[in-house]
A = this chain, B = another copy of it.
Amino acid sequence: MAVSPLPRAGAQADNDDSRQEKPMRLSILLFDGFTALDVVGGYEVLANIPAMEVEFVSNHSGLVASDTGRLGMAAYRSFGQLDATDILYLPGGPGVAAALGNAALMACVRRLHATSAWTVSICNGAEILGAAGLLKGKKVSTNWFAREHVAAYGALVGTERYQRDGKLITGAGVSASIDAALFLAALIGGEQLARTIQLGIEYYPAPPFGNGTPDEQPQMAKDLVRHVEQHGAARLAARVIPF
């Protein structure tokens, strides 16, 4: 059943010819060790597009553990059940490494991308698309730490917070899910829709210690984050999952 959190404007149709109101499906793929904000930043935007049906997909129905092991999210479709979707959405996280070896997930990605209207990756979720052979010559963004990994798949990796190459929408790390999804929401339903969703999630950022770019952060911060990223498997293995 379509969830329509925003009322259809009906007779109050705005001048935006590109507004999308026929049902669309958003399929968010989850895998053990995903990063929750990669998912929820984009979900909170895209789920509020009128007539958007949202589904969470994994190996099987059930709880999927995030990278911290403390947040569990429900999947209720399995990779093998999906034939097609409108928006294929790949989050990232330290679980990507194992996801690359998940045959059902990788087959699902290739199958859905073939007919998707849009394919989205956030953070190092781009590595999944790269490993599926879908990024050759494509302009993409990914998180700061994964740039070389994604480039190794033949992608043209940029430093933009989000990018579009055809139907491919890719975002930088984690919180870039919000910006990338607002950009996509406008492509689907027009700028007014995107700005209304922006108001609904009050995305008027004011980072307490200022804005910037990953590249210009202090070396010590970069070294710490790189250390965490490089020890993703150990971090996942050390989780004590309470659900």
Contacts and interface: CB of A to CB of B under 8 A. Distances in A.
Contacts of A14: 220
Nearest to A71: B43
A12 to B, nearest CB: 8
A56 B71 CA distance: 8
Contact of A243 (B35, B76, B191, B222): B76
Interface string A218-243: 10111011011000000100111011
A132 interface: no
Nearest to A74: B72
A11 to B, nearest CB: 14
A222 B72 CA distance: 33
A63 interface: yes
B74 A73 contact: yes
B5 A175 contact: no
B7 A227 contact: yes
Contact of A194 (B7, B191, B209): B209
A235 to B, nearest CB: 6
Interface in A126-181: 143-144, 161-162, 172-176, 178-179
A191 to B, nearest CB: 6
Most B CB contacts (10 A, CB to CB) among A14, A222, A243 go to A243
A10 interface: no
A17 interface: no
B74 A56 contact: no
Most B CB contacts (10 A, CB to CB) among A201, A208, A224, A242 go to A208
Nearest to A187: B208
Nearest to A40: B40
Interface in A184-199: 186, 191-192, 194-196, 198-199
Interface of A: 1, 3, 5-7, 14, 35-37, 39-41, 43-44, 47, 53-56, 61, 63, 68-74, 76, 123, 143-144, 161-162, 172-176, 178-179, 182-183, 186, 191-192, 194-196, 198-209, 211-214, 217-218, 220-222, 224-225, 227-228, 235, 238-240, 242-243
Given A55-B70, A194-B208, 10 more contacts: A3-B70, A5-B235, A37-B44, A41-B41, A54-B68, A162-B206, A192-B220, A195-B209, A195-B221, A200-B225
